[in-house]
Structure 1
Amino acid sequence: MQKKLFTLCVATLLLSLCLPISAAQEKATETQINSLKKSIAELVETLGTLKGERKSVQQALRRSDKSIGELAREILRLNNQLKGAEDRLRKLERKKAPLFKSLKQEAVNLEQQLRQQHKAGTQPRLQLLLTQRDPEQVSRMLHYYDRINQTLSQRLQNFRAGLVKLDQAESDIRSAQQDIFDRRDLLKARSGDLESVRKERRVVLSKLENKLSSGSQQLQAMQVDQERLEQLLSKIRSSIEKISLGGNERSFRELKGRLPWPAKGSVSRRFGSRNSGVRYEGVLFSQRSGYPVKAIHHGRIVFSDWLRGYGLLTIVDHGGGYMSLYGHNESLLREVGEWVSSGDQLATVGSSGGSTKPGLYFALRYKGNSTDPLKWLARR
């Protein structure tokens, strides 16, 4: 008995020691994530203010891209809510149909019984009392008539309850229909806002193209954009090493040639191709605006913001030095610090960052070095 008591005390003590450690670890992880967000935000702010860019066309492009991203994200949310409301309406209508059918049949049966009861009136009961000499027979027959009346009363109560349920179902349907109308109106309004911002963006892009009219200016701009991305990735790598956000290096490496595609679409620009002398560090998938962009593997979001040349960009750390990049998005759906699994939606395809056509920029990095993403994706 003493041995069992001692074992129980030791187990309780160990549990009490483990709980604060677990809570402390969770708090430390949250602090580390906030630290990562802060350090990256500071770097993005620094990159954005270089060479007076705050007053430049690029800053206007950033504002319009982010506005489009917020509106597109809200439209996606409203569409999902609208689908949910429509599903709810269909369920309510399916619920109403058998209820209405049952109530209709009950009304027919009740009407027949009431007619029979009215036709019989009180004569059989009175005649029974006047003519029947056997007390037991009288008692049985009176009990029979009482049961009939009780059954009729119960059926009337059930019918009233059914009417209440039917009325509630119809009220719920009207409410669901109004909800759908309201959401459609809001969706229409937001879609109009989105189109207005897109028009503003086209004006900004036209100014940007005029500003980068010569080949040398385009080359300089692309080199600056690439340098900014390298600075960002370097900062992210150093922050990740400090706070240990990485996953399993081996599991990612073993999936080379078998990873899912981040988005369907044709490859319009390949890894290693050159434009104005600058080497392309990723691939570009052509796809319509709004198409889902999905994570290729389990990991953690380490960047989710706008970056010049790449627009609305999401970066996922997969551990062991591996990172995947998803750029030119229309909207970003994940926040820094969130865990994602393979196939989880990260963003929607767009043309942010100065692109004239919608598409997904996709890149892979291993310890800062670029690698051909197509060699890692499954064959089609």
Structure 2
Amino acid sequence: MKAGLEIAALLLAAGLAGASTASAGRQHPVRQDLQETEKRLQRQKRLLEKLQGRSTRLLEELSRLEQQDQQLRNEQEQAQQALEQCRRRLERLARRRRKLLHLEDDSRRDLARRLRILYKRGEYGWLELLFSSADLGQALERVRWLHRRARLDARLVGQLERLQQQLQKNQRQTRQQARQQDRLIAELRGRREQLQQLRQQRLAVLGLVRRQASLRQKALRELVRARRRLQGVLQRFEGGRQSSSEFSSWRGRLPAPLARWRVEVPFGLQKDRRFGTVTRHQGVDLRAPRGTPVRVVFPGRVAFADWFEGYGLLVIVEHGGGFYTLYAHLDDLRVHKGQRLRQGQLLGGVGETGSLKGPYLYFEIRRGGKAVDPARWIKH
């Protein structure tokens, strides 16, 4: 914000000062400032285009991440369905195996019972079977039936055992498939979580880029407004003639604009303690209570007395000879544009209009469009 204030001050003050100098022999300072502003506009536009391009790429990446997540979601659902099928198949196999076990037990009991019968009959049992039959044919038929039934029972038990083995094999295979599906579901879940984390990171970056783009757009609008103001200043003041002045003879003897003050930010290069950046301060920040009278340091004509963005209520006084003084953040205005002033005349009071740090006076001296150190001009 402070850098924006200094830029605005440089543009306006240099424009007013340059408009009062002779235009012969060199390019007008206001036109130089217009060219510089145009360069800044182009830089801001390029930066904004880069941010917009980055925003577009982030949106495309987010779209791809959404598609990948949807694909993984579909694969996860398919794996879950396959797992459910494996579980249902295991339940069916378990039920079938229980039935086979019961049938096998019954068959084994029947076989054991018949074998016991054959064993108990022994050598004399067959004679009993023979004499109890109506004839020899019936006796032989009974013997054949017992043996045939025993063989059938034995064959059935064997078949049941083989079925049990096949069922056990199917159960092992199905359990293995279920474990594979479990591992696949866990893997897909992990990949989706990674995608979600990446998506959140990209959303955060997108928010930052959009905030930066918003700031760039705001700066761009401010530069456009500054360019328009400069063009207006150039139209009003271009072609003005430089007059002689006694201002330079008052170096070191000018009265201060305030009766009491404290220098909060001096003139010149200033280093930001937080960010370590170095900026040039074109004037001085004089801390004083709100309402403290602000007086003009030298006779002159009011070149500007109005609200100026970043400076609040601002008074610019032309003293001739290319000299201007600026008084910013005033609480009120007691002069108007074009008014002739005597030395020490009241301009207004200390205020905080356009200020971000409470009431103070921003004071600046310009000579030929260049800011000079007020400390070398004000009498202490």
**Same-fold call, TM cutoff 0.5:** no
Structure-1-length-normalised TM-score: 0.38
Which protein, 1 or 2, shows the higher relative CO under an 8 Å CA cutoff with sep ≥ 6? 2
Relative to the length of structure 2, the TM-score reads 0.38
